[in-house]
């Protein structure tokens, strides 16, 4: 395995004192869990061929024996959101999930950043911090882990301003343990890298089992600008493999583009299709087979030849359905505050939604705005109104939309402490039970937590008391602690919603939208529990919102997972709702 050097980190910090704060909770254990997490191999790797094409005339023709169909992609299948760097949720750029990068931004459909002479990395799949409450896209959650036997290939369309050693690094256990990796060398300019994933590090772990974390690592002798247009971790399929011929009998090279222009050189949005690192070429009547599974749906392919242009259309890649199940979702159904207080928790004044607050100067409006103050400045908190109490067995799906000024930082110093937690009491208890650390990365973010998860998973192991939120005893207090910054951190809470699992005695409207909607598409709605599956019906899809009414009389009493399988003529793909749907009588 390559030699490893430890990267000094601003995340590393001394332990807190073991004194309790005003809620009787101990110091966060994350400050004792960061050692050894930020390791970057020093790379010495072989050259992998990539090609930059000079301009030629374009031949815009029907090329293929059959229309290619997009292969299944991990990020798109798992989150309905491919690593195309079109939005800030595609990757965490905070220090920790990334390291030794600067001037990082997502803009124009690209992720770009600068590296220096230290080893650097970004994490398309960040496993999360060991010991925290895993949430969101943390790879430590089983639902977010990569099945290495399914997703066996990686395709990267990337730019480097200079020749750069790089690699793909993976972890098969939490805490960035059981590490394996493979080497790449990024050539200057825009290039495609389409590779079978296989460990090439001495002593490294194979690409096998469940993958908890994934990094792109880089090492350079000079300041270098890196950009990534897209990354696809994909499952090869026969539908993405086609035969093609030269359109006019002259030598031709296969090019791709995601924009409107026909490419003749490698750019941010197109370039030559590579086979084993070499351009895909054809001449005469010789058919050439090529796997296009690494490209996203909607990519158009062209033959570029020095000969005359044959005036026909390029060939677009058929996209797989990409269905977002809107309900039932992980956020649940209904809203406790609206039902029992007569209005949702809002923050227009001190009277509307809060019973008390501490260690914070608050301003009210469309959002709640706070600044940490004394006497215990690293313990700001707000207590929400709970009326006569909450039945946590019914209402336990909590979604908080929050944000703050400044950078993500876990240090026990001013500007640090960017972790939150939810706290509660139940009838008969005066000491709070509390969730484990909730990492709050930078930017405006939505955090959804199922407070009915097992108490041993949900709560802080070092808490003064640990008891369930969902229990026969009513919840008598509900508190949000936005951070543990000992400085004057400024933060916001935009909304708080406590919802129930979706349930019906009569009918329920399953709703979804298809991000890859195609005319003529259909969707089949299924309900399953254990080994038993019920096909509820098939409907024609439409652009935008879709709905299917589930009649409870067609299903026995119980909790079901809802699965929607989309068919668009060229491909089929299934997606599951984020929570169960309960049939009750």
Write down the pLDDT at residue 67: 86
Write down the pLDDT at residue 275: 85
Write down the pLDDT at residue 282: 84
Q: Kindly compute the dihedral angle of the four CA atoms of residues 341, 347, 351, 355, in this order, to the nearest 10 degrees.
A: 70
Identical fold for domains 40-52+71-234 and 336-500, yes or no, is yes
Secondary structure, 3-state, 380-441:
CEEEECCCCCECCCCEEEEEEEEEECCCCCCCCCCCCCCEEEEEEEECCCCCCEEECCEECC
CA distance 419 to 438: 5
E strand spans, 451-544: 475-481, 490-500, 502-504, 507-514, 522-529, 532-540
- Whether domain 40-52+71-234 has CATH 3.40.1580: the reply is no
- Closest by CA to 254, choosing from 70, 68, 47, 111, is 68
pLDDT along the chain (585 residues), means of 10: 34 31 51 47 36 34 77 97 96 97 96 97 97 96 98 98 98 94 97 96 97 97 97 95 82 85 84 88 80 93 66 74 97 98 95 96 97 97 98 98 98 97 97 98 97 97 96 98 98 98 97 96 96 96 97 95 93 93 94
Write down the pLDDT at residue 569: 82
CA distance 217 to 200: 14
Task: At 359, list the tokens.
Answer: 């260690």
Write down the pLDDT at residue 357: 97
Contact 387, 405 (CB under 8 A): no
Contact 407, 104 (CB under 8 A): no
Neighbours of 298 (CB within 10 A): 12
Q: In the block, which residue shows the tokens 């677009």?
A: 316
The CATH number given to 503-583 is 2.60.40
Whether the bond between 375 and the residue before it is cis, its omega within 30 degrees of 0, is yes
The pTM score is: 0.89
Write the DSSP string, 106-122. EETTEEEEEE-SS-EEE
Task: At 321, list the tokens.
Answer: 């359905």
Write down the pLDDT at residue 30: 55
Task: At 515, list the tokens.
Answer: 């991000």
Task: At 527, list the tokens.
Answer: 């309900």
CA distance 318 to 271: 19
Write down the pLDDT at residue 349: 94
Write down the pLDDT at residue 28: 55
Pairing of strands 153-160, 224-234: antiparallel
Domain boundaries along the sequence of the chain: 40-52+71-234, 238-316, 336-500, 503-583
What is the topology classification, in CATH, of domain 336-500? Jelly Rolls (2.60.120)
């Amino acid at each position: 395995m390559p030699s490893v050097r430890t990267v000094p980190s601003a995340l590393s910090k001394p332990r807190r004192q073991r004194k309790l704060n005003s809620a009787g909770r101990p110091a966060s254990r994350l400050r004792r869990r960061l050692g050894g997490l930020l390791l970057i191999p020093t790379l010495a790797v072989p050259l992998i061929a990539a090609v930059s094409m000079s301009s030629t005339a374009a031949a815009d023709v029907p090329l293929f024996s059959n229309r290619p169909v997009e292969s299944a992609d991990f990020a798109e299948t798992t989150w309905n959101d491919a690593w195309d760097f079109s939005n800030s949720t595609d990757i965490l750029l905070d220090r920790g999930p990334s390291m030794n990068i600067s001037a990082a931004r997502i803009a124009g459909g690209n992720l770009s950043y600068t590296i220096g002479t230290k080893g650097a990395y970004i994490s398309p799949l960040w496993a999360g911090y060991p010991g925290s409450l895993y949430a969101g896209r943390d790879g430590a959650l089983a639902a977010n882990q990569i099945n290495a036997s399914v997703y066996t290939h990686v395709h990267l369309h990337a730019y480097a301003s200079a020749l750069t050693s790089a690699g793909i690094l993976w972890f098969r256990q939490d805490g960035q343990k059981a590490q394996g990796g493979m080497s790449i060398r990024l050539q200057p300019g825009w290039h495609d890298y389409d590779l079978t994933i296989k460990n090439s590090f001495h002593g490294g772990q194979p690409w096998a089992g469940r993958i908890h974390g994934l990094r792109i690592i880089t090492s350079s002798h000079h300041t270098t600008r890196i950009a990534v247009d897209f990354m696809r971790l994909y499952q090869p399929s026969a539908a993405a493999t086609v035969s093609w011929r030269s359109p006019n009998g002259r030598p031709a090279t296969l090019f791709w583009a995601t924009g409107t222009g026909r490419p003749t050189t490698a750019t941010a949005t197109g370039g030559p299709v590579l086979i084993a690192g070499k351009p895909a070429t054809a001449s005469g009547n010789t058919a050439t087979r090529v796997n296009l599974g690494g490209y996203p749906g909607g990519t158009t392919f062209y033959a570029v030849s020095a000969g005359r242009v044959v005036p026909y259309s390029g060939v677009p890649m058929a996209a797989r359905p990409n269905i977002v199940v809107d309900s039932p979702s992980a956020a649940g159904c209904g809203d406790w505050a609206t039902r029992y207080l007569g209005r949702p928790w809002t923050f227009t004044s001190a009277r509307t939604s809060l019973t008390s607050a501490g260690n914070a100067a608050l301003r009210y409006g469309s959002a709640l705005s706070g600044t940490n103050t004394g006497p215990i400045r690293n313990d700001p908190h707000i207590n929400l109104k709970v009326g006569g109490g909450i039945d946590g067995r019914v209402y336990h799906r909590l979604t908080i939309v929050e944000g703050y000024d400044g950078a993500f930082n876990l240090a026990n110093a001013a500007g640090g402490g960017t972790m939150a937690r939810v706290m509660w009491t139940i009838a008969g208890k005066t000491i709070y039970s509390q969730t484990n650390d909730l990492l709050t990365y930078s930017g405006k973010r939505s955090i959804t937590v199922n407070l009915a998860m097992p108490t041993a998973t949900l709560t802080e192991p070092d808490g003064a008391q640990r008891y369930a939120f969902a229990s026969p005893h009513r919840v008598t207090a509900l508190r949000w602690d936005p951070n543990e910054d000992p400085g004057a951190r400024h933060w916001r809470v935009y909304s708080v919603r406590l919802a129930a699992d979706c349930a019906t005695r009569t009918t329920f409207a399953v709703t979804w939208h298809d991000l890859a909607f195609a005319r003529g598409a259909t969707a089949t709605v299924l309900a399953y529990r254990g080994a038993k599956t019920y096909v509820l019906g098939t409907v024609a899809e439409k652009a935008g919102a879709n709905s299917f009414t589930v009649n409870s009389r067609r299903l026995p009493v119980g909790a079901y997972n809802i699965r929607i399988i989309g068919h668009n003529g060229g491909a089929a793909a299934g997606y599951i709702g984020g929570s169960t749907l309960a049939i009750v009588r």
